[in-house]
Amino acid sequence: MSRLVTLFLCLFLIVRTSIAGEGMWLPILLSQLNEKDMQTMGMRITAEDIYSVNHSSLKDAIVLFGGGCTAEIVSNQGLILTNHHCGFSNIQRHSTLEHDYLTDGFWASSLTEELPNPGLSVTFLVSMEDVTEKILQGISPDMKGSERDAIILKNRGKVESEASKGSRYKASVKAFYSGNQFYLIMTETFTDIRLVGAPPSNIGKFGGDTDNWMWPRHTGDFSVFRIYANKNNEPADFSKDNIPYTPKKSLTISLKGVKEGDFTFVYGFPGTTQEYLPSYAVDMAANQRNPIAIKLRQQKLDLIDKAMENDKLTRIQYAAKAASVANFWKKMIGESKGINRLDAIEKKQQFEAGFEIWVNAENSRKDLYGNILTDYRQSIEDFRPYHKAYTYLTEGAMGVEIIRFAYGYNNLLKQCREKTTADDEIIKSAAKLKAGVPGYFKNYNSKLDEAIFAKLMETYGKECDPAFLPPIFTEAMAKYEGSYKAWAADVFKKSMFADSSKMNTLLDNFTRKRSKKIEEDPAFLVARSVYAFLQDKLVPVVNSFYLKADSLQRVYMKAQMEMQTGKVFYPDANSTLRVAYGNVKGYSPADAVDYRWFTTLDGILEKENPDVYDYVVTPRLRELSTSRDYGRYADADGSMHVAFIATNHTTGGNSGSPVLDADGNLVGINFDRCWEGTMSDLIYDPDQCRNIALDIRYCLFIIDRYAGAANLIKEMNFATR
Ligand code: ARG
Ligand code: ASP
């Protein structure tokens, strides 16, 4: 072996453990992989307290909230806490100009006042088990991707159906380590979830999109819901007869707070990370996708923000939409900056150079992994132009509401054209679409959408490679002499999809003959051209790329694990329950700038600005602050702590997750990350990556003192100091 090779191998072997703070660990493997480390860092409980196969454990108090957040149980009557931004769309749905819960907050003073939320559910993890062997049965190493996938699909089906036989739980097999390991996951989902309380937006969303993803942060980002069950404490759809769910476990709350250096862990459902990608994949995300998406979202946000500022109704209608557009927009800016600042691509390239040396050091490795990086790089190079076009189409054209809405009628049109579809099928489809009309137009401003159409289509049309533009662009540019404004104006003047009464006229007593109206509608014509281009020209390439990339990533992942035998690997996040652990810690985001690890109520008053929506402070909160009477919610330093940061490795989906202390008591609710560390989905930097948690004492202070909802506090369990 050459000296260089030996040096590289030594380097890799030295990295015996992972980087402090990095990792989203599987709860069932904690005792094996992390318990010692966690205890060394200060934890006083055991892995068994966190996840137990036989007894109730902290895991039984954690739920997946809706599709993409976490919540935790804090009372024996199924009371759960999550973020305000996680409950946002539900709070928004209950809000009208008369009852504006979004602006004013909402508090149910008794169970009967709690508001049902159709479509909202929470899911418990019941158990999980390694089934890799069963899933890989019949697979040989030289098998082609498609053949392998087919066998896995069959094995999965078998394992799932066996597991769910005679069980009231749902069984699903999920892939870990890029498809190298498989776990059977049993879950239980409750569907009657009611809104119990939400602070006004100028507490729950204080700082708004301006402070989003940033530290120092002062957002009271929480909302309160309750799980309901039938008389047997089982999941049931909404019914007046349902009663509050009695949980196996509810969290104990600590009012002690945390100090710098304290051990904490976050227990929740992180969505997606991609920590083990090669440099070219990171480059495509950070330097191609992000800049395009950022620009288009910026343009859209400028228009929405202006409209929201000028009109109260638009503010309600577009609050949730704007927040979701802005959220990923800002995340992408932070992510690309973080990648570049950390020289992440160069770091990955260096790793890849070491990897090649390791591969070439042995013939058996050369056979298995000799081409992996070359193949990977080539696939990405080939895919780049398509990926670019795909980003323009999805962020540009699909960022226009009328285009998405109009395309929703394509299916009805198809049915009308098919002789085989019976008339009553068509009537049913039309009725279903009609049911969606009021909800759609409740939150729709066609003037604003027209402006968005003109702007986004212009950027798309001018910047995307012409070979990758849907044909409607050429037609429209000829017809409107290059004016995107004229195009938008004409579409919105003539299209029925911009007007609820025209939509009702279309759908009332709908018959086949009316399908002509859809087919000739100018917004529908745009939508059809865009979606046809997507389906026919892009999706096949996108799908085949991801199929290929998945199988390359699986092999590359396996090779990385083989090479770094001393390293403990955590699997990428995949919306399964994980534990991240770390220490409370400030950080330095820039030269000469040091961030402290906590914020206080005084900081809210410092940020106060009655003229800027994001920084309005209600008189009541100001009063509570000036009195400085924080009671048992005060920190030992006498101030009211609002938020704190720690080195826990979190991602989207971790919002609402409990932040627990060394004794497993609830001390915070996770809601965000610091901007400089948002590249942690692709690469973690212990120096810059911090999760942001709401201090549970501020949350309780608002519930108790601000809202006067002492009834809720009474339900909760507190650790004795
Ligand atoms: N950045 C946080 C997360 O990704 C909070 C988002 C909600 N807040 C907002 N201002 N859009 O979910
Ligand atoms: N705010 C994110 C969420 O909603 C959390 C994060 O990305 O750090 O899950």
Question: HEC string of 188-205?
Answer: EEECEEEEEEECCHHHHC
What is the spatial distance between Cα 682 and Cα 703, in angstroms, rounded to a whole number? 37
66 lines ligand 2 (CB under 6 A): no
The answer to whether position 251 is within a domain reads yes
- How many residues can be counted in the chain? 721
Q: Specify the pLDDT at position 306.
A: 97
Residues 627, 543 within the same domain: no
Among candidate residues 334, 308, 330, 310, the one with its CA nearest the CA of residue 320: 308
Q: Specify the pLDDT at position 19.
A: 63
Last residue of a domain, one of 557, 588, 610: 557
Ligand having the closest approach to the CA of 670: 2
Question: What one-letter code names the amino acid at 147?
Answer: E
Please report the atom of ligand 1 found closest to the CA of residue 322. 11
Tokens encoding 571: 């699997």
The answer to whether position 652 is within a domain reads yes
User: What average pLDDT score do residues 534-540 get?
Assistant: 98
CA dihedral 21, 22, 28, 29 (to 10 degrees): -100
Domain ranges, residue 77: 3-121+191-274+572-718
Residue nearest to ligand 2 atom 1, measured at CA: 672
213 lines ligand 1 (CB under 6 A): yes
Residues 606, 648 within the same domain: yes
Residues 110, 205 within the same domain: yes
Ligand having the closest approach to the CA of 671: 2
Residues 230, 333 within the same domain: no
DSSP state of 568: P
User: What average pLDDT score do residues 163-172 get?
Assistant: 95
Q: Specify the pLDDT at position 18.
A: 52
Residues 366, 462 within the same domain: yes
What is the spatial distance between Cα 344 and Cα 280, in angstroms, rounded to a whole number? 11
Rounded to the nearest angstrom, the distance between the alpha carbon of 556 and the centre of ligand 1 is: 33
pLDDT at 340 over 60: yes
Give tens-digit pLDDT for 253-307: 999 999 999 999 999 999 999 999 999 999 999 999 999 999 999 999 999 999 9
Active site residues: 85, 221, 655
pLDDT at 613 over 90: no
Residues 299, 437 within the same domain: yes
Last residue of a domain, one of 531, 557, 583: 557
655 lines ligand 1 (CB under 6 A): yes
288 lines ligand 1 (CB under 6 A): no
User: What average pLDDT score do residues 698-704 get?
Assistant: 98
The answer to whether position 414 is within a domain reads yes
DSSP state of 445: -
Ligand having the closest approach to the CA of 678: 2
Residues 358, 221 within the same domain: no
DSSP state of 75: B
Q: Specify the pLDDT at position 320.
A: 86
Give tens-digit pLDDT for 346-401: 999 999 999 999 999 999 999 999 999 999 999 999 999 999 999 999 999 999 99
Please report the atom of ligand 1 found closest to the CA of residue 209. 10
pLDDT band at 1 (very low <50, low <70, confident <90, very high): very low
Give tens-digit pLDDT for 661-671: 999 999 999 99
Residues 265, 295 within the same domain: no
What is the spatial distance between Cα 180 and Cα 174, in angstroms, rounded to a whole number? 11
**Bridge partner list, 116:** 194
User: What average pLDDT score do residues 702-707 get?
Assistant: 98
Residues 344, 464 within the same domain: yes
Number of domains in the chain: 2
User: What average pLDDT score do residues 119-145 get?
Assistant: 94
Rounded to the nearest angstrom, the distance between the alpha carbon of 85 and the centre of ligand 1 is: 6
The answer to whether position 603 is within a domain reads yes
Task: Write out the H or E segment, with its range, that includes residue 607.
Answer: helix 601-607
Residues 361, 249 within the same domain: no
**DSSP per-residue string spanning 246-281:** --S--PEE-SS---TT-EEEEEE------TT--HHH
327 lines ligand 1 (CB under 6 A): yes
Question: What one-letter code names the amino acid at 592?
Answer: A
Give tens-digit pLDDT for 540-580: 999 999 999 999 999 999 999 999 999 999 999 999 999 99
673 lines ligand 2 (CB under 6 A): yes
Give tens-digit pLDDT for 52-98: 999 999 999 999 999 899 999 999 999 999 999 999 999 999 988 88
Please report the atom of ligand 1 found closest to the CA of residue 327. 11
pLDDT band at 721 (very low <50, low <70, confident <90, very high): low
Other Cβ atoms within 10 Å of 511 Cβ, number: 11
Residues 36, 84 within the same domain: yes
The answer to whether position 135 is within a domain reads no
Rounded to the nearest angstrom, the distance between the alpha carbon of 335 and the centre of ligand 1 is: 14
What is the spatial distance between Cα 653 and Cα 14, in angstroms, rounded to a whole number? 33
**Ligand 1 pocket, mutate which of 65, 70, 85, 102 (most atoms under 8 A from CB):** 85
Residues 509, 651 within the same domain: no
Please report the atom of ligand 2 found closest to the CA of residue 673. 8
Rounded to the nearest angstrom, the distance between the alpha carbon of 671 and the centre of ligand 2 is: 6
Residue 465, SS3 per DSSP: coil
The answer to whether position 134 is within a domain reads no
Residue 106, SS3 per DSSP: strand
What is the spatial distance between Cα 254 and Cα 50, in angstroms, rounded to a whole number? 17
Per DSSP (E only), the strands in 248-307 are: 252-253, 263-268
Please report the atom of ligand 1 found closest to the CA of residue 88. 7
What is the spatial distance between Cα 253 and Cα 719, in angstroms, rounded to a whole number? 6
Give tens-digit pLDDT for 3-49: 555 555 544 444 444 567 999 999 999 999 999 999 999 999 999 99
Last residue of a domain, one of 534, 557, 580: 557
The answer to whether position 148 is within a domain reads no
What is the spatial distance between Cα 484 and Cα 506, in angstroms, rounded to a whole number? 28
Dihedral pair phi/psi, residue 437, rounded to 5° = -65, -50
User: For residues 585 and 260, is the Cβ–Cβ distance under 8 A?
Assistant: yes
CATH number for 83: 2.40.10.120
The answer to whether position 184 is within a domain reads no
Q: Specify the pLDDT at position 16.
A: 40
Tokens encoding 110: 């008794």
Mean pLDDT of the chain: 95
204 lines ligand 1 (CB under 6 A): no
